[in-house]
């Protein structure tokens, strides 16, 4: 499914949101499902995309042509809106024949226990005997601090307090548009145990380039084995891409402060040869 929005127009209410039916398809083996739209197993999906053409009848025909090539048949154009003079945003609703084999879906599970604030503080005192220092920033030209602030600021996110709330974590939030050399220098000054970077801007894979550049800079500036934990977060990072990007952990959309704090305890404990009380049980 393609979805490349350059604006946020409101789609038509003509088509319902697409859900997934969990009823196995007749004549198949194992856990095989099809999308659910109007009724079970009808294969209906809704996709949105933008084409670089002015909004007219030809543009709408181009959108339906693309939908057909994506395997949607029949396809219904339920929304079209001009985005300036040269682009048009579309929402298309239609049926696909593709099946989903749920048993073959690979999911990266959390490999550390989720701890309470009290357990996090206790584990840090035990493993470090001092506060754990976290330096955070939005690097490059990224000015969107909502993600890093949700994790670091005491007000937190989704009803959870941010890392500033933890008595054994010292947070240094550098804010937005921080250059990588500045981040490295500040991390060294603060003797950071972990560095968190947030990347919301993803045009032309900016989040990938910025993260790999950040990783390379830290590994050049620090002796082998002394690099702080490098953590990147943002809505467009792929799960399991930490190794390719040169960081220790990737966190995606919906990540809460408790998850990040629990991971820090887990990773720092591994580096110092200790484990949280829950991991020892």
DSSP secondary structure letters along the chain: -----SS-PPPPTTSPPPEE--SPPTT--SSEE-EESSSTT--EEEEEEEESS-SSHHHHHHHHHHHHHTTEEEEEEEEEEEETTTEEEEEEEEEE---EEGGG-------S----HHHHHHHHHHHTSSPEEEEEEEBTT----HHHHHHHSTT-BTTB--GGG-TTEEEEE--SSB-HHHHHHHHHHHT-SEEEEE----GGGHHHHHHHHHHHHHHHHS-TT-PPEEEEE-TTPPTT-HHHHT-SEEE-TT--HHHHHHHHHHHHHHHTT---HHHH-
Number of Cα atoms under 13 Å in the Cβ half of residue 48: 18
Which of 81, 126, 155, 161 is the catalytic position?
155
Whether residue 155 lies in the annotated active site:
yes
Angle of CA points 171, 172, 178, to nearest 5°: 145
Please compute Rg for the chain using Cα positions: 23
The residues that are catalytic are 155
């Amino acid at each position: 499914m393609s979805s490349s929005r350059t604006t946020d127009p409101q789609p038509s209410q003509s088509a319902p949101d697409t859900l997934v039916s969990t009823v196995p398809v007749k004549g198949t083996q194992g856990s095989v499902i099809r999308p659910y739209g109007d009724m079970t197993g009808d294969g209906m999906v809704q996709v949105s995309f933008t084409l670089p053409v002015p909004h007219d009848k030809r543009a709408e025909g181009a959108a339906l042509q693309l939908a057909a090539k994506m395997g949607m048949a029949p396809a219904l154009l339920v929304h079209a809106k001009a985005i300036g003079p040269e682009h048009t945003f579309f929402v298309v609703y239609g049926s696909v024949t593709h099946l989903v084999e749920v048993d073959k879906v690979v999911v990266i599970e959390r490999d550390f226990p989720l701890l309470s604030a009290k357990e996090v503080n206790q584990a840090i005192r035990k493993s470090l005997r001092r506060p754990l220092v976290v330096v955070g920033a939005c690097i490059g030209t990224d000015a969107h601090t909502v993600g890093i602030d949700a994790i670091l600021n005491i007000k937190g996110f989704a009803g959870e307090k941010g890392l500033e709330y933890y008595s054994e974590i010292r947070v240094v939030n550098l804010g937005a548009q921080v250059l990588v050399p500045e981040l490295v220098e500040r991390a060294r000054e603060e003797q950071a145990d972990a560095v968190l970077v947030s990347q919301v801007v993803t045009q032309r894979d900016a989040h990938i380039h910025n993260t790999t550049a950040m990783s390379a800079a830290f590994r050049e500036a620090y002796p082998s084995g002394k690099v702080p934990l490098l953590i990147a977060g943002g809505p467009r990072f792929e799960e399991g891409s930490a190794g390719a990007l040169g960081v220790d952990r990737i966190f995606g959309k919906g990540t809460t402060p408790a998850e990040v704090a629990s991971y820090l305890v887990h990773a720092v404990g591994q580096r110092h040869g200790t484990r949280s009380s829950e991991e020892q049980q």
